Structure 1
């Protein structure tokens, strides 16, 4: 009997793994066409980018006055797809983001013009998940927040530029507990015990 349960468990686990892999981002081959964003023919229609009367597939880019690339974003059938990058006029990277069928996915990064990291975030199916970190120009951590399905969940912290913590709270089932800003944070929900009386 144990062998039957073990076999069923392994089969269920295998099915779950196959399902997880199939729900991962699929590779879509974006055409190599690169079109400057300032050209006539681009328009937004039904939440999609159209070019010359049809959903755009290719790379749309902008340039700085000095001629260097400012942004370049991949599109597939009118929706953002693959990597989107931005650069400062110096050529240093400004951000790197990823999309699948118009939704944010994977790890996103941002940098200051000095090259120091500005932010890092993780997305899944358009929703923020995992840890988000934001940094001051001096390189110190400014914000560390945790997300689940696009909503704050768990420990949330914020620091000033000198490294002193100014906000420290926990989000549990949509409620905040802890220090928000410089004042003690009280849940927006009234005490359930007093409501029952």
Structure 2
């Protein structure tokens, strides 16, 4: 009897410590096995969203939620825990190319979020803190590969150097934020000209 009691205790402990490796597109994440390895499709009439919570059969859903295009290709795969996004969300274009990759914790955006143009070129790269606020660098690109803007944040607020460019590479804005105050070229005006590759404003 003592043997069975010990075996059962060890089994429960082992299950609580299981770590699974789950593949999401081209990303493999290793995390505590708290999200059930079940899937439900958005087309399922038993799914519903109420006040931002995803329900399945009237219960907050935990598992992988899948949305498909009309051509039956997968549009998005998202992990949920008790009706709220938790873990990785991947999205694709209708032709199967990667659109974006995001991470969530208790419904908040966290970590590095990345997006791509249909050509495969990078579209954006955002960094978030644990509260879902921008933290660190934020970079966006035009579809021609030219950088659109490079901003920096601390706890969701602009901080430090901020730059933006036009699609042709000409500088559009170049300023610095110190203690909430902006200093420098906020935006182009008719009375100023800025040459490509230069940050200096000339009249």
Taking structure 2 as the reference length, the TM-score comes to: 0.74
- What does residue range 130-141 of structure 1 map to in structure 2 within 5 Å? 130-141=136-147
Task: Give the Cα–Cα distance (whole angstroms) in 1 for the partners of residues 33 and 109 of structure 2.
Answer: 15
Matched, 1:37 2:37: no
Give the corresponding residue for 2:178.
172
- What does residue range 5-154 of structure 1 map to in structure 2 within 5 Å? 27=32, 29-125=34-130, 126-154=132-160
5+ unaligned residues in a row in structure 2: which ranges?
Answer: 1-30, 191-203
The 10-residue stretch of structure 1 (162-171 or 33-42) with the greater mean CA deviation from structure 2: 33-42
Task: Give the Cα–Cα distance (whole angstroms) in 2 for the partners of residues 100 and 28 of structure 1.
Answer: 15
Matched, 1:160 2:166: yes
Question: In the TM superposition, what whole-angstrom CA distance separates every residue of 1:19-65 from its partner, at most 9, and x where no partner exists?
Answer: xxxxxxx7453111111112223233354222211111011111112
Change in Cα spacing, 1:157 to 1:27, as seen in structure 2 (3 Å) is farther
Task: Give the Cα–Cα distance (whole angstroms) in 2 for the partners of residues 51 and 39 of structure 1.
Answer: 9
5+ unaligned residues in a row in structure 1: which ranges?
Answer: 1-25, 185-197
State the shift of 1:151 in Å: 1.0
Considering only aligned residues, what root-mean-square deviation do their CA atoms show, in Å? 1.6
State the shift of 1:183 in Å: 3.3
Higher percent of residues as helix = 1
How many residue pairs match? The answer is 159
Task: Give the Cα–Cα distance (whole angstroms) in 2 for the partners of residues 47 and 60 of structure 1.
Answer: 14
Task: Give the Cα–Cα distance (whole angstroms) in 1 for the partners of residues 189 and 179 of structure 2.
Answer: 22
Task: Give the Cα–Cα distance (whole angstroms) in 2 for the partners of residues 180 and 148 of structure 1.
Answer: 19
State the shift of 1:176 in Å: 1.5
Question: In the TM superposition, what whole-angstrom CA distance separates every residue of 1:105-156 from its partner, at most 9, and x where no partner exists?
Answer: 1100000001000000111121110000000101111110001001111111
Task: Give the Cα–Cα distance (whole angstroms) in 1 for the partners of residues 162 and 32 of structure 2.
Answer: 34
